[in-house]
Structure formats: C-alpha cells, structure tokens
Amino acid sequence: MAGRLLPRRGELRPMLRLAVPVVVVQVGLMLMGVVDTVMVGHLSAVALAAVALGHLYFFGIGVFAMGTLMVIDPVVAQAAGARDSAGVTRGIQRGVVLAVLLTAPSVVVLLMAGPVLALARQPPELVPLATGYIVRLVPGVLPFFLFIVFRQSLQALRRTRAIVVAIVVANVVNAALNWVLIFGHGAPALGVLGSAWATSISRWVLLGLLLVLAWGHLSPHLRRRVPEVRELAPLRRMLRLGLPIGIQYVLEFGAFALVALMMGWLGTREMAGHQIAINLASLTFMVPLGVGDAASVLVGHAVGRGDSAAARASARAALACGAAFMSCTGLLFLSLPGALARAYSTDAGVVALAAALVPLAGVFQVFDGLQVVAGGILRGLGETRVAMAVNVLGYWLLGLPVSYLLGIRAGWGPVGLWWGLVVGLAVVATVLLTRVRAALRRRQTRVAIDPAEPDARSPMPSTSARE
C-alpha cells in the first residue's frame, strides 16, 4: 500500500521544479504582511491589533475575488496542456476582465469598514486606526487583482522566473517604505497608516515589474484582441467554475475571520496574541498553498493531454510534499512557541497568549497542508464545487460551533477558540482527501479545456460513468 501511495523520484522532480518557485511567490506575498505586522508590532499592542483587524477586513472582502480568479488555473493550464494557444489567450483576457469587474464592489465594501467594524463590536480604540489602515489599502486593490491574474497565467504556462523576481523586489520596496513611513526616517512618522501606504505602493510596483519582466510571455495573449472576450455568455460559463472557488475561499477565510472577531470580544491583548499565532500559521501555510497551485497546474496539463496516469502521479507528489513540510513546521511550533512569539512583540502579556496558541497551530499544520493541496488537485481536475460544500461542513457546521462553545461559553478563552479551528481543519482535510482519491480512481477529469467555449475538446477518457 505504501508503494502505491508514496510518489516515485521521477514524480517528485517535475512537482518540485514548479512548486519551489510558486512557493517562493506565495511566501513572498505573505512576507509583505509579516513585515507589516512585525514592524507595527514594535509600536504598541494597539497598533499591532489594529493592523490585524485591518488585514482581516481587507482579505475578508478581497478573498472572494482572489478565489474566483483562481479559475484561471484549470482554464489556462488545460488549454496549455492541449497546446491550444487561442484557449490560453481567451483565459488570460477574460481573467483581466473579471479582475476589473471584481474591483469595483470590493472597493465599495472596503470604504464601509468603519461602520461594519463598529457593528461587529470590535474594541473602540482599534476601529479608527483599523479603518484608516483599510482605506489606504484601497489604491492597491486593482493592481493586486491584476497581479493574481498574470501570476496564475504564468504559473499555468510554467513561466515563473519573472514572478519570483517581482515578488522579491516588491518585498524589498515594502520593507523600505515601512521603515520610512511607519517610523519617520526621512518622512513624517505615520505609524499604522504608513504601513498601509507602503503596502499599496508596493502592489503597484509588483504589478508593473511583473508586466515588464514577463511581457515576452504575456504580450502574445494581451496584444491580440479577441472579440468574444467581452461576450457575457462565455464569461458566465467561466464564472460557473470560478464562483465556487471564490465562495470556498470566503467560507474558509470567513471561519478564521469569525474566530478573530470573537477574539476581539475578549480584548485588545487577545487580538494581538492571536495575530502573532495566525501570522506564523499563515506564513507556513503559504508552502502547501504553493504546492497546491503547482498541483493544479500539473494536473490541469495532464487533463489537457488526456494523461490520467500523470494526473495521479502529480497528485501523489503534491500530497507528499505538503504533508512532509507541514510535519516539520508542526514540530517547530510545538517546540519553540515562546521564541517565535517574542520575534513579534515585546509585550509580555501578548507574548504569553501567543505562546499558548502557537502549539495549537502546530497541531493543525498537517491537516491544513493536506486540505489545501487536495483542493488544488481538485481544481486542476475541474472540480470546484466539492471543496465549497466541504468547507460548509468542516468550518461552519462543526469548527465554529466548537470555537464558540469552548472559547466563549465554556470560558476557555483564546485556546478554546483555536480548538474549533483544529476540529474544522481535520474534518475538511479528511473529506477532501477521500474525494481526491475517488476522483483519481475514477479518472474524473471531465472539465473541458476551455469551459467557456461551445466547441471545447473532449475531456480525458474515463473507464467509469461520469457524474
């Protein structure tokens, strides 16, 4: 059985070749937030908690658009696997249209942050700072969404060098601007607001540099005008694939966001300690998230070629990479919680709370890694609705009630809230792995190369009846 489940060396090589740069990009994106958090954390616990609340609100709104744009993974990857250049062009250009359309409602809701946070019963001393932070992130929304479109497209084409260079440079720019704008080195000290301005400016730098570096790969698909790109019917068909991904992201992020809001009911110090622990968990999560993206691309290419054996091999390699990495970080979190917490804050109370939560992050690391990799595999297969339903079950019907009962009703506080996350992640990982195994066994690679086209090619043949 172990021989059937574990990947061979030849299966790991292509996965690692694509996954490593994709992981670097994911970690780079996360590092921008980590740098913001660490630098602001040295101002005060209130500043740290305000940035945590601001990040929470921003990504709570933006995550739907980010998830919906992940539809580019199966569309472009399957078209690339079938060597369909026209299908790749349609996928990229429709991604740009979707990014622009999704920006407008996202900005409107971001500008309503103040009343929403007040209604959510967040600490009064945090709401004005968090609102100011969120409003100053608005100028970076469009470049951030467009970056996602071009990043996913280039990853699907297996052209990742330009993305890596762009994210490294953007991180350097973000750190330098944080140093200048937060603490006032050569400019007025803006504190929390300076961190937000640094992030918005860095996102424009990120998009501009990526376009410059990758123009040779993107220009054939952006310069040639495709008239049918603006037709509503094909866009709706593409959205039918993308919306379940967006809803899945909202459900997953929403569960973590609701736990953070409940943490805010407990107090500012609890919110700050939670932010440290969740920031560490989110940083390590970027690695299996990148592996899941790579799995989506490689499985999508296999679907485009009609190669079911390659799809299974890529899935095995991705799951092994995700589980191995998260096992190592889980041990790290269980072994050094205090040292990790002290890297973020000098407030003894905040550090103590974070050190109590970091080991729980170590407990759910493997579950978290497996569920996101399994989701990437299913996305490559074109199955975008399963993960959405599983998130409802794992997080909203099981995990969040456990968080509320233990953390609020039973009086366990922050630790009780986090045990609900452990339960939710364990359920989601188990069900998604079962679904991946069943889908690969039945070779359910049935989504067309370009689902938005009526003349799309036939999917990979299957030996079993299709659902």
Average pLDDT for 117-138: 88
Token pair 């992640």 in the structure block, residue: 425
DSSP class of 396? I
Tokens representing 145?
Answer: 């969404």
pLDDT greater than 70 at residue 26: yes
Tokens representing 150?
Answer: 């071009």
Q: Give me the pLDDT at residue 9, please.
A: 67
Token pair 């978290």 in the structure block, residue: 368
d(CA 273, CA 112): 26
Average pLDDT for 324-337: 94
d(CA 362, CA 360): 5
- Residue 331: count of CB within 10 angstroms of its CB: 12
pLDDT greater than 50 at residue 452: no
The model's confidence at residue 368, banded by pLDDT at 50, 70 and 90, is very high
Percent of the chain with pLDDT over 90: 40
pLDDT greater than 90 at residue 37: no
Q: Give me the pLDDT at residue 5, please.
A: 54
Q: Give me the pLDDT at residue 286, please.
A: 86
Tokens representing 356?
Answer: 């109590």
pLDDT greater than 70 at residue 450: no
Structural element, H or E, at residue 206: helix 192-222
Establish how many alpha carbons lie within 13 A of residue 282's alpha carbon, considering only the half-sphere containing its beta carbon.
22
Q: What is the DSSP string of 266-281?
A: H-HHHHHHHHHHHHHH
Average pLDDT for 50-58: 85
pLDDT greater than 50 at residue 24: yes
What is the value of pTM for the model shown? Answer: 0.78
Contact 117, 127 (CB under 8 A): yes
At 149-192, the pLDDT tens digits run 999 999 889 898 999 999 999 999 999 999 999 988 888 888 88
pLDDT greater than 60 at residue 465: no
Contact 363, 417 (CB under 8 A): no
Comparison of pLDDT for 166 and 91, the residue scoring more: 166
pLDDT greater than 70 at residue 220: yes
d(CA 16, CA 21): 9
For residue 224, CA distances in Å to 86, 220, 229 come to 10, 6, 11
pLDDT greater than 90 at residue 39: no
DSSP class of 28? H
Token pair 């452990």 in the structure block, residue: 422
- Residue 208: count of CB within 10 angstroms of its CB: 14
pLDDT greater than 70 at residue 459: no
pLDDT greater than 50 at residue 1: no
Q: Give me the pLDDT at residue 443, please.
A: 55
Please tell me the least confidently modeled range out of 8-17, 20-29, 106-115, 275-284.
8-17
d(CA 394, CA 407): 18
Average pLDDT for 287-313: 87
The model's confidence at residue 460, banded by pLDDT at 50, 70 and 90, is very low
Q: Give me the pLDDT at residue 103, please.
A: 95
Closest residue by Cα to residue 164 from 296, 20, 369: 20
- Residue 460: count of CB within 10 angstroms of its CB: 19
Establish how many alpha carbons lie within 13 A of residue 451's alpha carbon, considering only the half-sphere containing its beta carbon.
24
Please tell me the least confidently modeled range out of 59-73, 242-256, 283-297, 434-448.
434-448
The amino acid sitting at 26 is Q
The model's confidence at residue 99, banded by pLDDT at 50, 70 and 90, is very high
